[in-house]
Amino acid sequence: MSSQIATSIRHRTVRRARSGMRRQGRAVGVQLLGPLTILAGVVWAVAQPWRIAFLYPDGKGFYDYVAQPPLLVVLVGLLFIFFVAPGLIEDLERERHGPEG
């Protein structure tokens, strides 16, 4: 009987550790999406600097300044980092502490 209890406690501990690691991995995954997007935009800007109107202003109009693709990619990454990722991380944390805490 006591060995059964010990085994079930060990199983529960292992399961909890695994689920904690999975949650940690998910949090890291969400946190990486924004920076990776920004990195893609920066790499693109370095590879094709002429697509940034601020650096090559000759003959550029209003809309060329509004939509500069590499900067748009960076902007999307920033929007994700500041408006989407924090809420998701918070909810992942709450899920971890909620039922077990």
Partner 1 sequence: MVPKAEIAHWLAASVTLLLGLILLAQVIVGPEVFATRRWRAYLWPFVALVGGIFLWVIAIFSTFSTMHLVAHSVWAESAMIAGGVQLAVVRGKLSSPYWWLVTAAALFFSGVAFLVHEQNGWLFSRSAFLHHTIGWSLVVAALFPVGAALRPGRRVWSTGFALTFVVLAVMLYSDRDSAPIFGHFEGVVIRR
Among 6, 24, 72, 82, binds partner 1 (CB under 8 A): 72
**Among the listed residues 63, 99, 100, 101, the single contact to partner 1 using CB under 8 A:** 63
Q: What is the b/e burial string over 54-77, where b = at least 16 CB atoms within 10 angstroms of the residue's CB?
A: eeeeeeeeeeeeeebebbebbeeb
Q: Is 84 in the site for partner 1 (CB under 8 A)?
A: yes
Q: Assess 53 for contact with partner 1 (CB under 8 A).
A: no
User: Distance between CA 44 and CA 26 in Å, rounded?
Assistant: 27
Q: Residue 64 interacts with partner 1 (CB under 8 A)?
A: yes
Question: Helices 2-47 and 85-100: crossing angle, nearest 10°?
Answer: 180
Binding site for partner 1 (CB under 8 A): 26, 29-30, 33-34, 37, 62-64, 66-67, 69, 72-73, 75-76, 79-80, 84-85, 87-88, 91-92, 94-95
